[in-house]
Amino acid sequence: MKRILTGLKPTGDLTLGNYIGAIKQMIKMQDEYESYIFVADLHALTVPQKSEELKNRIRNFIAMYIACGIDPNKNVIYLQSDIEYIPCISWILECSTYYGEASRMIQFKEKSKENANFSVGLLTYPVLMASDILCVDTDYVPVGIDQKQHVELARDIAIRFNKKFGDTFKIPEPLISAAGTKIKDLKDPTKKMSKSEENPVGVISLFDDKEVIRKKIMSATTDSEMRVIFDEENKPGISNLINIVVSLTGKTVKDIETMFVGKNYGEFKKYVADIVVEKVGEIQEKYNKLINSKELDEILDKGAKKVRELALSKYAEMREKVGVVR
Ligand code: AMP
C-alpha cells in the first residue's frame, strides 16, 4: 500500500465546508492508502498565537477529525511537536536549501507583504514541511494547488541531499486530488464558506448548536423564484443547499428536484436543516465522548511512538552522512 501524509493546520473552528470538501475525501483515502495524519502545530507558530487558545484548538481539532470519521485504526495520527527530531531534521535540510529558493515561495512572498514584521519562520516553514514529508518516507502528499510548490521544494531538497550524501530520502509526489464540492457561504453564496469569515451567520461550524444551525439554514439567501432547481449561476443559494444535501445523503440532484416540485423554499430549507442537524449532531456526539477521554491521548501517544522511531532513524542516518556525530 502506498503511503500518504496530510498535515492539518489548527486555525479556527472546522466548518461544514471543511467536512464536505476535505475531511470526506480523507475518509475515502484511508482505505486506499497507508495514511499519516498530523496536526501541524509548529507551523501554526509562523503567525502570533495565544498559547492557551492554541492548546485547546489543537485538541479540539484532532478530536473533531476523528469524530468526523478519520479512523485511528486505519491512520497514524500524531502531533508534529511530539516528534522532537523533526526540527533537527529541518535544520540540516535548511542548510541544504538556498535562501533564493525559500524566498521564491509564493506564499512567503504574499504573506511577508501583509505584515512587514514577519518572522524568519515564515521563510523557513516550507523546509519544516519538507522535514515532515521526508522523515516518514511518504509516497504522496495530497495538497491543494496552493501547496504544490512546497511539495516541489521538498522534492528538490531531497534530490539534492541524495545526490550529495547518497540515497537517504524517498522522493515524494504531490497528489492533486479531484476537488471536492465547494460549499458556499449561506448568506453570500457567491463566496466560499470559510472558517475565517468574520460574520458567522453564513457559516456552519461543526461546533454550532442544533438551533443555531437550523436558524442559519432557514435564513439562507435564496432567490425570488419558488423552484428548487440546481442552477449555480442564476440560483447560487438554492444550488448550494442542494449540494449540501447531495454531499451528506448520497441523493442525486434529480432526486431532490423531484422531491420538491411544487413545494416552497421554507419546506426545502427545513428538509436541509434536518439533514445537517442530524449529521452534525452525530459528529458532536462522538466528539463529546472523545474530547476529554484517555482514548484521545492514547491515539496520539501511539502515533507519536511510531513516527518518532521513523524520524529518529532518519535523523541518525542524516547525522552520520553529514558528519555531525562523535
Ligand atoms: P481551510 O479551512 O481554508 O484551511 O481549508 C482546509 C481544507 O478544507 C482545504 O482542503 C479546503 O479546500 C477545504 N475547504 C475549506 N472550506 C471549504 C468549503 N467551503 N467547501 C469545500 N471545501 C472547503
What digits encode the pLDDT tens for the residues 192-228? Answer: 998 887 788 999 999 999 999 999 999 999 999 989 9
Residues 7-15 have a mean pLDDT of: 87
Where are the chain's structural domains? Answer: 3-180+294-322, 200-288
Q: Which residues contact 308 (CB under 8 A, 6 or more apart)?
A: 82, 83, 84, 85
> What is d(CA 279, CA 284) in angstroms, rounded to the nearest whole number?
9
Catalytic residue, from 24, 74, 195, 270: name it.
195
- Tell me the pLDDT band of 27, cut-offs 50, 70 and 90: very high
Give the three-state DSSP class for 35: strand
| pLDDT, average across residues 229-237 | 96
Chain length of the chain? 326
State pLDDT tens for residues 28-42: 999 999 999 999 999
195 classed as catalytic: yes
For residue 10 and ligand 1, the question of a CB distance below 6 A is answered with: no
Q: Is 294 part of the annotated catalytic residue set?
A: no
| Active-site hit among 24, 74, 111, 148 | 111
200-288 to CATH, choices 1.10.645.10, 3.30.930.10, 1.10.3210.10, 1.10.240.10? 1.10.240.10
What is the 47 CA–ligand 1 centroid distance (Å)?
A: 20
The runs of H, that is alpha helices, within the chain are: 16-18, 24-29, 41-44, 51-68, 85-94, 99-103, 106-114, 120-134, 148-165, 210-218, 236-249, 253-259, 265-291, 294-322
Minimum-distance ligand 1 atom for the alpha carbon of 23: 8
Decide if pLDDT at 126 tops 70: yes
Q: How far is the CA of 44 from the centre of ligand 1 (A)?
A: 17
Q: Whose CA is nearest to atom 9 of ligand 1?
A: 22
Give pLDDT tens digits for 240-263: 999 999 999 999 999 999 999 999
- The 10s digit of each residue's pLDDT in 47-63 is 889 999 999 999 999 99
| Whether residue 206 has its Cβ less than 6 Å from ligand 1 | no
Ligand 1 centroid from CA 262, angstroms: 34
- Please give the pLDDT value at position 279: 98
Q: Please tell me the CATH code under which domain 3-180+294-322 is placed.
A: 3.40.50.620
pLDDT at residue 21 tops 70: yes
Predicted pLDDT of residue 177: 67
- Cα(64) to ligand 1 centroid in Å equals 15
Q: Identify the pLDDT of residue 11.
A: 79
Give the pLDDT of residue 12. Answer: 75
At residue 144, the pLDDT reads 80
pLDDT of the residue at 203: 97
Is residue 299 scored above 90 in pLDDT? yes
Q: Output the pLDDT for position 196.
A: 80
18, 37, 176, 240, best to mutate for ligand 1 pocket (most atoms within 8 Å of CB) = 18
